[in-house]
Structure 1
Amino acid sequence: MITLKGVKPIGKKQWKRGNFYIYGVVEPATGEQYYQEFSQLNYNCFQEFLNGFGQKYSETFNLIIMDNGSFHKALLLDWADHVMPIYLPAYSPELNPIERLWEPTKKDLKWENYSSLDKLKEQVNTIIKSLTNEEVLSLCGWDYILEAILSATS
């Protein structure tokens, strides 16, 4: 709508918005990856993610590097014995291996207009499924990340 300067336009259209969240972890030394899609970003969904991850990788000891989101640190979280959280300092996404993966993924989606949330989900899943371990390794396996993980486990 076009209005006079200083006059806020009032419209009768309410834009429908939807969202979804991809929870994921990557192994920066091999490029292996694990993802799950959820409708919310909260403790319950994160616990479900941890349960799925813990079942899939039950034969190995696993470190999960993450930010200090409140749902990551919920006191009620039940961490499997073979999964250990490592919390990054505040405002340091460059230290989180998976953040390296999200950058090009978001870049591929930018300026696209999808007709539905399901179409966007399909495209995100296509991008994620198309990533080879070699591509993930090249994006996430930076020397300083690998060295930090090694020092944390020694």
Structure 2
Amino acid sequence: MEKKLATEVEQIQTTYPDAEVQLWCEDEHRLGLKPILRRVYVPEGETPIADVHWRFKWLWLYAFVHPKTGETKAWILPYVNTELFNQVLADFAREFGLGTNKHILLAVDRAGWHTSKNLQIPEGLHLTFLPSHSPELQPAERLWTLVDEPLANQSFNSLNDLENILFHRCQSLLQQQDLIRGLTGFHWWLQIGV
């Protein structure tokens, strides 16, 4: 995988010699009213209690991460599909000023909305696909335990309540670039150098 990414970065640098090139990754994470249960420490002899009310309503977190710097960007949306992914890619490209002078190679998995014929890839953005069934190669996959922390062992009355906590968690993670870099900066990813 590292050779493939290095080759693709080199091709972009050769094609656009005056442009800044970065290597990012993106993944989606489903969150909902179904509780996330985790172990907790309690004094010996006590039984931990977590209020659970299982419901199956969901929202999705689209997260982008630049493992070299720890920079992140996230969108909270109600679905995953090609139309929403197109909007997210357009927003991402606009947010980071992609175009003639700045290019990003974005590593994504092979989800249906990533490989759709109707996908509209903005100028300056280049997609590369990770091997099928290999979440261990996706640095963005490592964000989910951090994202889930404030949601664990809680029950939410509505998706709005969940979204509010999720929004604040994402804002907090934006400020923790060293933590994100340490978590997502796979040694072979960082050797690519962009």
Shorter-chain TM-score category?
0.7 to 0.9
User: Does residue 17 of structure 1 match 2:61?
Assistant: no
Q: 2:189 aligns with which of 141, 145, 150?
A: 145
Matched with 1:124 is: 166
CA distance in 2, matches of 1:116, 1:85: 35
* Uncovered stretches (5+) of structure 1, i.e. residues with no partner: 1-14
**Change beyond 3 A, Cα 1:91–1:108:** farther
Matched with 2:3 is: none
Counterpart mapping for 1:64-83 below 5 A: 64-83=106-125
* Uncovered stretches (5+) of structure 2, i.e. residues with no partner: 1-53
Matched with 2:80 is: 41
TM norm structure 2: 0.65
**Counterpart secondary structure, 2:58:** coil
Shift of residue 118, structure 1, vs aligned partner: 1.0
**Mapped contact 2:68–2:185 kept (Cα < 8 A):** yes
Counterpart mapping for 1:76-95 below 5 A: 76-95=118-137
**Change beyond 3 A, Cα 1:96–1:16:** closer
Q: Give identity over the alignment, percent.
A: 26
Matched with 2:28 is: none
**Mapped contact 1:22–1:36 kept (Cα < 8 A):** yes
TM norm structure 1: 0.80
Shift of residue 111, structure 1, vs aligned partner: 2.2
Matched with 2:71 is: 32
RMSD: 1.9
**Counterpart secondary structure, 1:24:** strand
Matched with 1:135 is: 179
> Mean Cα displacement is larger for which, 59-68 or 47-56?
59-68
**Change beyond 3 A, Cα 1:145–1:109:** farther
CA distance in 1, matches of 2:56, 2:138: 29
Shift of residue 90, structure 1, vs aligned partner: 0.9
